[in-house]
Copies of this chain bind each other. A is one copy, B any other.
Amino acid sequence: MLIFEHSSPGRKGAPQSPSAEAMPTGIPENLLRKNSASLPEVSELQAVRHYTRLSQKNFSIDTEFYPLGSCTMKYNPRACNTLAMLPGFLDAHPLTPDEQNQGFLACMFDLQSMLCEATGMAAFSLAPMAGAQGEFAGVAMIGAYHRSRGDDARREILVPDAAHGTNPATAVMCGFTVREIPTLDNGDVDLEALQQAVGPQTAGLMLTNPSTLGVFERNIEAIARVIHEAGGLLYYDGANLNAILGKIRPGDMGFDVIHSNLHKTFSTPHGGGGPGSGAVGVAERLKPFLPLPVVTKEADTQRGESYRYLTASDRPQSIGRLSAFMGNPGVLLRAYIYMRFLGREGMVRVAEFATLNANYMMAEAKRRGFTLAIDNRRASHEFIITLKNEARDYHVSAMDFAKRLLDLGYHAPTTYFPLLVPECLLIEPTESEAREALDGFMDALEQIRNEAQETPELLHAAPQTLPVKRLDEVRAARQLDLAYKGR
């Protein structure tokens, strides 16, 4: 039932409403609303009950193992939420004068510094509100850099075919054209194809390393050389740093600009779709172009250190603002708190145990006879199973496997991404899962393969134990019903 269907005309959540004021005069009639908006009219109890029950219809990290590749569904410590929601932060107006906002600014400055150290970049801006906006900022800076040098011909961005969809979409949004670079069967970028692709039109290359295929790009130094020699810049899609934190730094690999999804590696919650943060870091030469705001620390003779926002006059070459205020401070605070929990030792351990868990599951998958997309390599924080054999032999799809997993109490891995691998499951366990969860998942996968052989209809009809059975997506797109207008 929809919340609208609990509605009764005239019912109100009285304790929440200021007492009715006479509508002030002075507003011309034609600027006023004629009819009340048809929002639901429910009591507070009805709303609480409805949304509490709705929440129970979700899978989530707090309730299920959620090995969704490229998404890093790790534990979101509750303390990060509690502490980020202290009244001193929640009640802070974004335009509060810096002197009254020192506690928050100190956190932001520290966060910038820790991100620089963790990635080997010279400076960070926390402005981007998600990975895609971080990419936007990064690519826009690449554009601004070339322009600032009068190098206006560089209108092409190179993107490997395994890349996340946001990479090409971003490049286009920034006004570039996109050229795809193929990937070899072993998961490395096709270096020859890359060499042929670069030229005076090359603005840069967007790369994820480890790639979305779950392997480390072994030729990274050669790639960096090719791009830099062609006059391009190297962009690191660091949506996911879980695989390398404390082990190798993008700056040391030769990247000029990077974004990092704090809502993945740094454990801010995904919230059913967002919000996130795509903090963006740069090498020294791109620093002037960083998006605003950026926080700086100043030694103030009177009261010791103090912090302030840099403005456009401090950074005249900045690509500008990406949001009305400061990105997503609540997300940034959660990431900051998480990083203080981890500290330098804890960060290395993230990479170590995320990698251990992925390699363990990959070994188990192999042992149990599943086909790996890329064999005989180390997994990074994730790895890929291809179910092409099962699809061929039993007429079941990766999607069927995914839906059946739901029935068994596991969230499905990422399916059909990266696009190169047929019938694939991209599996990312993260470091915060215990071995029992990994084993339980592999048992489930094995059980499903047996079912695929013996009772494939079980897979086709899955899920059976959830609030709804398989949903008709085609109908949803054909007979658009995007808002309730009464029954």
Contacts and interface: CB of A to CB of B under 8 A. Distances in A.
Given A44-B77, A432-B45, A62 B52 contact: yes
Interface in A430-487: 432-436
A173 interface: no
B77 A49 contact: no
Interface string A73-90: 001011100000000000
Given A15-B341, A52-B62, A53-B63, A75 B434 contact: no
Nearest to A8: B434
Contacts of A285: none
Interface of A: 6, 8, 11, 15, 42-46, 48-49, 52-53, 56, 61-64, 75, 77-79, 341, 432-436
A432 B43 contact: yes
B15 A75 contact: no
Contacts of A61: 45, 49
Total copies of this chain within the assembly: 2
Contacts of A43: 75, 432, 434
16 contacts: A8-B434, A8-B435, A8-B436, A15-B79, A42-B434, A43-B75, A44-B75, A45-B61, A45-B75, A46-B434, A49-B62, A49-B63, A49-B64, A52-B62, A52-B63, A56-B63
The 4 A-B pairs at the shortest CB distance, nearest first, are namely A45-B75, A52-B62, A45-B432, A53-B63
Contacts of A78: 48
Nearest to A409: B53
A435 B7 CA distance: 11
Contacts of A48: 62, 75, 78
Given A6-B434, A45-B433, 10 more contacts: A8-B435, A8-B436, A11-B434, A15-B341, A43-B432, A45-B75, A48-B75, A49-B61, A52-B62, A53-B63
